[in-house]
Amino acid sequence: MEENLVQNWIDTDKMIYDMIVEIESTGKSFPEQAELAFEKLSKLYNIPRMPNDIDDEELEDDEELDGVTDKRSLFEEHALIKYLAEEKEDPRSLVLSAAFHLLNDYRVDLFQVAEKEFGENIPEKCKIAIKGEGFNGEVVFPQKESKSWFELGCKIMKQIN
């Protein structure tokens, strides 16, 4: 179903359609095209690229903040989608899905991420962190590494449970 929604977006939004045509015409590899799309989508739709690009005022306006926010950067949403995806998935579609999620107030369920990693044995206060930069975000689980998310070089950490 999600693919149809993303395809509908591409078919009905001239800006995204033109951007895709431009990127595909570069002749670059699929991962290189995906990385280019990541950067262009962030600018074209004014999507926060990295966690530190999220406007603090937006966080203050979040009525149910309680120390947790649903505001995510393209870096975060893309890394989570990439983690859940099949290895053979087209990297360009993962970037488009991440942008679509953020523009339409969808979010990857962190419980699904934890479930993929731990199965039914999700640790209490499970930490999900993301390290890297831009398109190259990678999901890590600090409790498995016996290091803090900061020591692992992560840009952001979320806790579930």
Category of 66 on φ-ψ map: left (φ > 0), alpha (ψ -120 to 50) or beta:
left
What pLDDT is stored for residue 1 in this prediction?
A: 46
Q: What's the number of CA atoms in the CB half-sphere (13 Å) around residue 91?
A: 16
pTM value?
Answer: 0.88
- In angstroms, the CA 159 to CA 161 distance is 7
Query: How would residue 66 be classed by pLDDT, with cut points 50, 70 and 90?
Result: very low
- pLDDT > 90: percent of the chain: 78
Instruction: Write out pLDDT tens, residues 93-152.
Output: 999 999 999 999 999 999 999 999 999 999 999 999 999 999 999 999 998 888 889 899
